[in-house]
Amino acid sequence: MTTVIDDLQTVREFVMTAKATTAQDEDDALAALDRIEAGCAYLARQELARVNRPGQTRVYKSDRDMPLILTHGEIELPHVGTVTAEMYVKWYKLFLVSEGVVHPIDFHELEPYAPERESAFVDHVPNPTAIQEYCEQRGLHADPVFLEVAHGRWLLEVRS
């Protein structure tokens, strides 16, 4: 049985030569990549199983299977729904976590809540003021770390 180290070495050798000298070399490299991918997926599942043990913090995921920004730590989520986003470099929508269920929120739903003469979102960045107003008007809670990240992204990517 090969190890991840062996597989990485096989892939490294293939990449360093910039081409396979035989079809077998290419097949070996592709098989090594498949094993690495399967190993990484297995490790990710093991980590989620460890995190999701009873009595520990639950990991909520988006419809793209990405973890959500939720900073409830040792406490439970608020009894009202919590608005947040994926832990990812680009946001495609927001999410409402309510009673253990994750619901997507399209950025366009923020439009009525955007300040006058401002967009509700620009590209992959929702307007943090619109998010706060959306939450207030609907009796929801915005995750504080998510909101902080949203403010930072808005300032760096939109206002600069």
Domains of the chain, by residue range, sit at: 4-51, 82-158
Predicted local confidence at residue 14, as pLDDT: 59
Full pLDDT tens readout for the chain, 160 residues: 455 556 556 656 655 555 556 667 667 766 766 776 676 666 656 555 555 555 555 778 999 999 999 876 444 555 678 999 999 989 999 999 988 889 999 999 999 999 999 999 999 999 999 999 999 999 999 999 999 999 999 998 887 7
Predicted local confidence at residue 91, as pLDDT: 94
Predicted local confidence at residue 100, as pLDDT: 80
In this prediction the pTM is 0.62
Nearest to 159 by CA among 134, 137, 135, 129: 129
The conformation of residue 61, written as its DSSP 8-state character, comes to B
Contact between 127 and 114 under an 8 Å Cβ cutoff? The reply is: yes
Residue 30 CB burial class (10 angstroms; 0-12, 13-18, ≥19): middle
Instruction: Return the structure tokens found at 88.
Output: 């990812």
